[in-house]
Structure formats: structure tokens, C-alpha cells
């Protein structure tokens, strides 16, 4: 087979990548998983843990790979996607219902989902169970514990009286004529009457679920014991899809019913700024989970994947990611190593490094971006201009489109671009760590802004801590042919001029503090 044919076959395989973990089979998820040491070592500890990461960073993939791994080791895994819990999840956002009602509905739905998964585990384990009857008893105990109903409302007493009456009348007469000295007449009248009374109690009101966390904990502990597995892993995905005002109540359920069981481990995947695990109350009391005390929150996927945090680790990770997805599409092809694939697919190594920069640490974007780059270069090796054109297209198609119908967010992004790129000739800026600005967080959600570093100081404000945000690579590339592009950043490639996307210079960043009150009236 010629080199051109090999390249086209490679391109076709790259275009066919499966880009979402929930659509892939377990076997493919296992074969495609890429560890960035010590990522999986941290993830697979038996400690209760929150795993942070932006959309597309592979949280679902990591949890499903963990589930497969613990099953192979003899443990049991319960994977819950909170997007699919409950028959009507819109109830959780229904503003016409009380907070108590919505929280109770959510908690019951999650408990039922856990019960369903434990039931499936019990069915698989029943053939080898020492006492199968105990499994059914413990399942019944758990079912009863999560389905106790109480009716609340006024009590009415109804008194009903029934009366029945009967009347008998009889007349008799005797008469004698002639020799009979007298005549006799007998008239009788009989009336009977009976009263029946009854009292009926009528209770009117609403049915509500009454949960006893102690009973639920005891039921789960009993079931876990008879399952006879060394450990059960409860893996909760898409935590941030739950309304934020309900999250502390769901977290409280976990603290009270799951954490007391030593043989149960809980892992929660979430987006950091869209998570609320605790609701503080008076005198140190709280509802929910206390991070650092009840569960650890020491794992953030961005720390392993963002190019600027660790360039060598990021390049190695994405090189293996692309290679493993390629091998799942073309297992019998002659490309045997990740380096061989990069040499065949890209014109030179710096082009692949630029591709990793353009990804901004998001594996899902890597799989989409390489497909667009292949489309640009089909039949030829991917060059620098192909990477940048693909990043620009992906920015317009996926990222910018998510805020196009929101004038407030679009306007804020334009103001940031004007201030940071146009005025300061930088690509990154500082924003106060303590500030919770929803609009900045929404731009981060849309992957138009990316967190580069956290909790850094500034030369201008040494007492204040800042997070370092940078503007998306594709957004920057889109501006490089405009008047707002930084000056003096031109290079030559194959005789053509192109603007260089600048590397992040922390000396200049530390003076680029974004103050929203100064750019937005």
C-alpha cells in the first residue's frame, strides 16, 4: 500500500472517532482510557472523593474505567448518571413546588436508582450467595426503608345515623248470634322502630415521603454485608446537572446514609464552580458534605491535561489518546506506536504541540478538532495552518454559538477581548479568586475562557489572590487577521506569513487584572 493510501486510511479512521464516553461500549472505554500519572492512582484510592473537571475533560470516561477496574478486582461498582435519575427530572426545577418537596423527590429518586443498581448486583450474585434468602430479605428491607409514606393534613370525623322502622297492625273479631251471649272484637296494632348509627374518620391531606436515614443506613449496610464483596463503589456522575439549591440536600443524604458504611466508597464527578455541597447553619451545624473533612476534593482533571500547566504531560497524554482511539478503529493497521502516528499524520512535531495547545486541555475537543484538521488537510499531512483553521471553525461552530443568543455574555466577551488583547496585547488575565461572577463562570462553561492557574498573587496587589484565565485559542486565532491582533508576532512557514499565537508570559499576565467595573458601565 502506498504512503498516500496509508495516509487516507489514517484520515478516515481519525474522522470516525467516538467522541462521547456514554455512547461507547465498556470494552472500548477500557481500551481507550489514557492515564496521566498519577491520575488513576489518585482516582482509585478507597477514599471518598470529589473529582472536578470541565465539560469534556473525561470525568465520565474516568468513572466508567474505574467501574470496570474494580469489577475485575472483585468489588462491585454502582454508576449513577444524575441526568437520567427520576422519571421526570424537570420536577427538580419546578419553581411552583416548595424546596422541601423538590429535595425530597430528588432524594427518593436517587435512593430508588441506588436500589435498582444494588438489585441488579444481587441478581448476579444470588447463584453464588451462601444464603440467597438473606439477599431477598435485605432487598425488601431497603425497599421498605425508602418507601415509607405519611399522610399530612387535617382529620375530619363523619357521624352517620341510619334509622329503620316497621309497623304491624292486626284486627280480630269474634261474634255470636242467637244463643251466644256476647260478641268479642280484638284489634291489635304493633309498631317497631330501630336506629343504627356509625362513625367514619376521614383524613384529608397530601401524601409525603417520610425517610428515616438510620433505617436506610441499616438496610444498606445489611445488603452490603450479604453481598459479600470486599467493597462497593458508588460512582456519581453529572453532579452539576442537579439544581444548585438541591445539591446540599443530596449531599446530606450521602453523608448520613453512605459514608458511615466503611465498605462503601463514594466518588462524585462535578464541575467545580457549579457545585454546592454544603449549606452552613448556626453554631457550626451544616447540611451536606464538608469538603476536606467528609470527602476529599484533591483531584482536578485540568491539572493533568492543560498544556500550560505541564506541557510534557499534556503532549504525552493527547498523543496516547489519539493513538488509542485510532487503534480501536483500525486494530490491524501497521501503525504500532503513538510517535509513529504523529509522524505520519502531522508535518512536524511542533505542529502536533500546537494541536495540543489548541485543545485547551479538553479531550472531547481533541477528538473533534483532529477531525476538523483532517477535513482541512485530507490526503496531506496536517500543517500548522490546518490546526489553526480547524480551531477557528470549532470555535465558531461549538463554542461561540453557545452564547450567540445571549447579548450580555457576547458583550462581556467582546469587552474582555478589547481590554486584554486589544489594549494589553495579552491573551490571559487575572480575576479575583474570591469573586463569584456568574458571567465569567458561564464563559468558562462554554470553554471560551480557560483557567490557567489558581490562587496566584499580583505585583500590583500582593495581598489579593487571583485565578489566571486565558482566552480560548480558537477565539484568539479568529482575531489574528484583525486590527486587534498583537503586533510583531509573525513567522514564516513554507514561504507564507502567519501570526503566532503567543505563549503565556506570566510576567505580563500578573499585571493584566480584569476589573469588570472598569470595562462594563
Instruction: Look at residue 137 in the predicted model and tell me its pLDDT.
Output: 92
Query: Average of pLDDT values for 346-375?
Result: 92
Instruction: Look at residue 489 in the predicted model and tell me its pLDDT.
Output: 30
Instruction: Look at residue 355 in the predicted model and tell me its pLDDT.
Output: 94
Which cell goes with 40? 488513576
C-alpha closest to that of 172 among 157, 156, 186: 186
Which cell goes with 474? 480558537
Per-residue pLDDT tens over the stretch 225-272: 988 889 999 999 999 999 999 999 999 999 999 999 999 999 999 998
Instruction: Look at residue 204 in the predicted model and tell me its pLDDT.
Output: 52
Which cell goes with 24? 461507547
Sorted by where each begins, the domain ranges of the chain are 1-36+311-382, 48-148+214-294, 155-203, 402-519
Which of the four pLDDT bands, split at 50, 70 and 90, describes residue 1? low
Peptide bond into 38 cis (omega under 30): yes
Instruction: Look at residue 169 in the predicted model and tell me its pLDDT.
Output: 47
Which of the four pLDDT bands, split at 50, 70 and 90, describes residue 356? very high
The answer to whether 453 and 303 are in contact (CB under 8 A) is no
Which of the four pLDDT bands, split at 50, 70 and 90, describes residue 66? very high
Q: Is 57 exposed, middle or buried (0-12, 13-18, 19+ CB in 10 A)?
A: buried
DSSP structure class, residue 126: G
Instruction: Look at residue 131 in the predicted model and tell me its pLDDT.
Output: 81
Query: Average of pLDDT values for 65-92?
Result: 88
Name the percent of the chain lying above pLDDT 70: 76
Name the percent of the chain lying above pLDDT 90: 36
Q: Is 334 exposed, middle or buried (0-12, 13-18, 19+ CB in 10 A)?
A: exposed
Instruction: Look at residue 330 in the predicted model and tell me its pLDDT.
Output: 78
Which of the four pLDDT bands, split at 50, 70 and 90, describes residue 289? very high
Average pLDDT, the chain: 80
Give yes or no for residue 24 having a pLDDT over 70.
no
Instruction: Look at residue 238 in the predicted model and tell me its pLDDT.
Output: 94
Which of the four pLDDT bands, split at 50, 70 and 90, describes residue 467? confident
Give yes or no for residue 177 having a pLDDT over 50.
no
Instruction: Look at residue 498 in the predicted model and tell me its pLDDT.
Output: 37
- Greater model confidence, 12 or 179: 12
Question: How many alpha carbons lie under 13 Å from residue 169 in its C-beta half-sphere?
Answer: 0
- Answer CATH for 48-148+214-294 from 3.40.50, 3.40.109, 1.20.144, 3.30.450: 3.40.50
Amino acid at each position: 500500500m502506498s504512503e498516500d493510501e496509508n495516509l487516507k486510511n489514517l484520515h478516515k479512521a481519525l474522522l470516525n472517532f467516538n467522541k462521547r464516553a456514554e455512547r461507547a461500549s465498556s470494552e472500548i472505554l477500557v481500551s481507550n482510557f489514557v492515564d496521566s500519572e498519577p491520575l488513576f492512582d489518585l482516582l482509585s484510592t478507597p477514599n471518598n472523593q470529589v473529582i472536578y473537571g470541565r465539560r469534556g475533560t473525561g470525568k465520565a470516561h474516568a468513572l466508567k474505567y474505574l467501574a470496570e477496574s474494580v469489577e475485575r478486582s472483585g468489588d462491585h461498582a454502582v454508576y449513577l448518571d444524575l441526568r437520567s435519575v427520576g422519571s421526570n427530572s424537570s420536577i427538580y426545577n419546578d419553581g411552583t413546588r416548595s424546596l422541601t418537596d423538590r429535595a425530597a423527590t430528588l432524594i427518593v429518586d436517587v435512593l430508588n436508582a441506588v436500589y435498582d443498581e444494588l438489585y441488579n448486583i444481587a441478581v448476579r450474585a444470588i447463584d453464588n450467595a451462601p444464603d440467597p434468602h438473606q439477599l431477598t430479605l435485605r432487598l425488601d428491607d431497603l425497599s421498605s426503608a425508602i418507601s415509607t409514606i405519611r399522610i399530612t393534613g387535617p382529620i375530619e370525623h363523619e357521624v352517620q345515623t341510619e334509622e329503620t322502622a316497621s309497623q304491624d297492625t292486626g284486627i280480630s273479631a269474634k261474634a255470636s248470634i242467637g244463643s251466644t251471649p256476647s260478641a268479642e272484637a280484638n284489634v291489635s296494632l304493633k309498631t317497631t322502630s330501630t336506629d343504627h348509627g356509625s362513625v367514619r374518620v376521614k383524613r384529608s391531606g397530601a401524601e409525603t415521603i417520610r425517610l428515616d436515614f438510620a433505617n436506610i443506613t441499616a438496610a444498606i449496610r445489611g445488603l452490603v454485608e450479604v453481598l459479600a464483596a470486599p467493597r462497593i463503589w458508588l460512582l456519581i456522575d453529572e453532579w452539576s446537572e442537579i439544581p444548585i439549591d438541591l445539591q446540599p440536600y443530596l449531599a446530606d443524604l450521602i453523608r448520613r446514609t453512605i459514608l458511615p458504611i466503611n465498605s462503601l466508597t463514594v466518588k462524585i464527578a462535578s464541575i467545580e464552580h457549579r457545585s454546592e455541597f454544603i449549606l452552613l447553619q448556626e453554631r457550626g451545624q451544616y447540611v451536606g458534605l464538608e469538603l476536606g473533612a467528609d470527602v476529599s476534593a484533591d483531584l482536578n482533571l485540568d491539572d493533568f491535561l492543560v498544556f500550560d500547566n505541564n506541557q510534557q504531560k499534556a503532549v504525552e497524554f493527547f498523543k496516547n489518546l489519539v493513538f488509542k482511539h485510532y487503534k480501536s478503529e483500525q486494530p490491524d493497521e501497521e501503525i504500532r506506536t503513538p510517535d509513529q502516528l504523529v509522524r505520519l499524520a502531522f508535518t512536524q512535531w511542533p505542529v502536533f504541540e500546537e494541536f495540543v495547545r489548541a485543545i485547551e486541555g479538553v479531550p472531547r475537543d481533541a477528538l473533534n478538532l483532529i477531525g476538523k484538521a483532517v477535513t482541512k488537510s485530507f490526503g496531506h499531512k496536517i500543517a500548522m495552518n490546518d490546526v489553526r483553521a480547524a480551531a477557528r471553525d470549532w470555535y465558531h461552530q461549538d463554542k461561540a454559538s453557545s452564547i450567540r443568543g445571549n447579548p450580555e455574555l457576547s458583550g462581556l466577551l467582546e469587552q474582555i477581548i478589547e481590554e486584554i488583547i486589544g489594549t494589553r496585547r495579552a491573551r490571559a488575565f487575572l480575576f479575583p479568586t474570591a469573586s463569584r461572577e456568574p458571567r465569567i463562570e458561564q464563559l468558562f462553561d462554554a470553554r471560551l475562557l480557560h483557567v490557567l492557574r489558581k490562587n496566584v498573587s499580583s505585583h500590583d496587589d500582593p495581598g489579593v489572590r487571583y485565578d489566571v484565565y486565558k482566552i480560548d485559542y480558537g477565539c484568539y486565532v479568529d482575531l489574528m487577521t484583525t486590527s486587534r491582533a498583537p503586533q510583531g508576532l509573525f513567522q514564516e512557514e513554507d514561504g507564507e506569513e502567519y501570526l503566532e499565537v503567543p505563549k503565556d508570559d506570566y510576567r505580563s499576565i500578573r499585571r493584566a487584572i480584569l476589573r469588570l467595573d472598569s470595562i462594563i458601565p
